[in-house]
A = this chain, B = another copy of it.
Amino acid sequence: MRASDRAYRQLREEILDGELAPNTVLAEVEQAERLGVSRTPVREAFSRLVNDGLVVAQTARGLVVTELSVDRVNQLYELRLALEDQAARLAALRGNKRVFLALAERFRAAPELVRLGELGLPRYYDLVAEFDEAIDDAVENAYLTAALVNVRTHLARIRRLARHDPDRLVEASREHLLIVEAIAAGDAGLAAHATHVHLHKSKTHFVATVERHLRGGQVA
């Protein structure tokens, strides 16, 4: 793998995990030494992180890790809502019904996974990832998918900040089930509305937990 890819992945992972806290200053030389590569691949990695929106130019000279805030979460969800509503609608129109029927079957079993705790949770998250993939495949729209991928990046950061709440996950799996069934049935309207409802609940949950974290935890 290329050095610039490794640098990008590691920095990205550290930001998502919070090891590189918001407002941390990223300097080329410093990070190059820490990651054991030269400045060139680090510059490339920085550029990609800026494009992801995980890092911003604070002054003319100096990049910092972007902040997370309740306000930002709300903004992200305004975008996410627009994109996923549309994606669900298009998936219902174009998707392979069998793929989504199979997903429905697995979402029905998902509460069991959540109940398994540590053992089942990775499988639950895999399922959600497969759901996202199935949507992307179904919509066949490079622009829309690219926008969704970017949203998911920020979402991953929020997810890791919030604790896993089993009750919420069980509820979410039921919401996913409805969405998947609507897509399998080719009901674009229902798919969009079910997505809307799901995202509303998801947002409410995250806003509450993120608020708690930001107050209690690190100083933002």
Contact = CB atoms under 8 A, between A and B. Distances in A.
A133 interface: no
Interface stretch (A79-87, A197-205, A207-215): A79-87
A146 B53 CA distance: 9
A2 to B, nearest CB: 11
Interface string A137-153: 00111111011001100
A88 to B, nearest CB: 11
A76 interface: yes
Contact of A141 (B51, B75, B147, B154): B75
Contacts of A53: 142-143, 146
A189 to B, nearest CB: 15
A132 interface: no
A193 to B, nearest CB: 15
A79 B142 CA distance: 9
A191 to B, nearest CB: 14
Contacts of A150: 147
A53 B141 CA distance: 13
Nearest to A147: B147
A180 interface: no
Nearest to A146: B53
Contacts of A141: 75, 78-79
Contacts of A147: 79, 147, 150
9 closest pairs, A vs B, by CB? Answer: A82-B86, A79-B143, A75-B141, A82-B82, A79-B144, A51-B51, A75-B143, A76-B143, A147-B147
Interface of A: 43-44, 47-48, 51, 53, 72, 75-76, 78-79, 81-83, 85-86, 90, 139-144, 146-147, 150-151, 154
